[in-house]
Chains A and B, each alone.
Chain A
């Protein structure tokens, strides 16, 4: 009887040590695959809206964290369409009398970059479409373009830093 208990104790101790060691190695292996600190740190981009030759109705593309950022100054017709569709004012970024669409230019379906076609973004991968406000209008995309976190100082956007404007835009899409 005492022999059996001793065996059990040895068996359980061995299992416990192996389990702790196994779990610890899994944590280490998981973290080795995490994005590197240098990747996480290099996450800020500034764009001066007054300084990028933006024409109303024609978007431009910038890069932030390796992802495209679409910036579009809405034309009056586009704004009228958005109002007609019942989109709230916070759906766009308003600076002075101008309204902008500021979004991450990746299709919310599987991450392809949709191309601007006349008055909307069209995704070549699975046929998704987004209007000038960045709202999905056709195909598989489950939600509007994602709004990146940004801070506004005058006409300068700092992408990667939280600000009330981007928070309001994100809330308007929730």
Chain B
């Protein structure tokens, strides 16, 4: 260690001891971002901000929320909503942000898929991002239980029942997860712990990992050009800012990010103040009742597509029970995006519009997910059940064909 001579009680001395200037350089002023990007590259900062909003609003809710089946409903709907000054605001901010964060996650995810930002050195970014998606899903589910309304209770009952594994009948596992024969007080308190402590801790760690895996390979760009960052950074630092293909994260890239963030926050607070109802299901304003299932139950919009794959196959096939097939497809739907980099057999990193077949594949996937989401909300009867069935079949078919489609694109380009 080089001994530091500057006094501890001086700005210079503190900086020397903390390496602040060096850290700032690595993370900010000399963290290079390509110029050839668009507003979709701002979603990372938008997500970080939304997560911060969730934590801050959550802290205020946590001070009045009571994790007890006898008290939870009133502590949310009476104490927080009516007694606590601005309690309603913190609740609506929390609920709307929890919903909107998934919208941004999906945009972020499909930007990555469209521009091929998950391969050739960026696999770890994709994997850590998908782990974040899974953890956010668990965070959303556990938080949804806390107000202890009818939707809270029945979502908890249905989702914990998935762990019985259909015909495997692993009811011991279900009772272990619930801490009782049915969803009850023990279930509420343990999911409260997960929601306010363990899962946020895991999310924070995963965000650090996600950024770490991104820092060295750098973000992709609109034309997936392989940029020599050292050479381009040298140009920029030499004053040749016009020719350099890169800009520093701070202050140049973030100023653009903040513009997008500003628009996002206007949209977000518009929802919080004028249109929060979409995140506050009316059924959940009935207290939880273990003896009555609501007439029609459905998850929040961001889980609808995978929920529809669960109930898509509604009749027995291939000697298997309908419920088991649905459960298997549901399990597959949760994990399949994780292995995206390994199903894409195209050796080149290119945006989808330069990969003709993959381009079509991409938009069919988006449409299929939208169809699944819409029909996931509708009652599963009559023609609805068949739309769900075929949309689920298309979903499976898309993944089965992905390796061949990407390979065929590469062959047509002469890359294989």
State the A residues within 8 Å of B (CB). Answer: 30, 33-36, 39, 43, 61, 63, 65-68, 108-115, 123-127, 139-143
Contact = CB atoms under 8 A, between A and B. Distances in A.
Nearest to B156: A111
Interface in B152-169: 154, 157-158, 160-162, 166-167
Contacts of B311: 126-127, 140
Interface centre among A33, A34, A63, A142 (most CB of B within 10 A): A142
Interface stretch (B50-58, B317-325, B362-370): B317-325
28 contacts: A30-B176, A33-B176, A34-B176, A34-B179, A35-B179, A35-B181, A35-B186, A39-B180, A67-B182, A67-B290, A108-B323, A109-B323, A110-B323, A111-B157, A111-B161, A112-B157, A112-B158, A112-B297, A113-B293, A115-B293, A125-B158, A126-B326, A127-B311, A139-B380, A140-B311, A142-B167, A142-B324, A143-B167
B296 interface: yes
Contacts of B20: none
B292 interface: yes
B335 interface: no
B181 A110 contact: no
B63 interface: no
B379 interface: yes
A35 B180 contact: yes
Contacts, number: 100
B186 A36 contact: yes
Nearest to A127: B380
B184 interface: yes
B372 to A, nearest CB: 14
Interface centre among A67, A109, A115 (most CB of B within 10 A): A109
A95 to B, nearest CB: 25
Given A127-B379, A139-B322, A141-B323, A66 B176 contact: no
Nearest to A128: B323
A160 to B, nearest CB: 10
B385 interface: yes
A66 B162 contact: no
Contact of B154 (A63, A112, A139): A112
Contact of A124 (B157, B182, B297): B297
Given A35-B179, A110-B162, A66 B322 contact: no
Nearest to A64: B181
Contacts of A114: 293
Contacts of A33: 176-177, 179, 190
B303 to A, nearest CB: 14
A39 B181 contact: yes
A139 B157 CA distance: 19
Contacts of B157: 110-112
A128 B182 CA distance: 20
A27 to B, nearest CB: 13
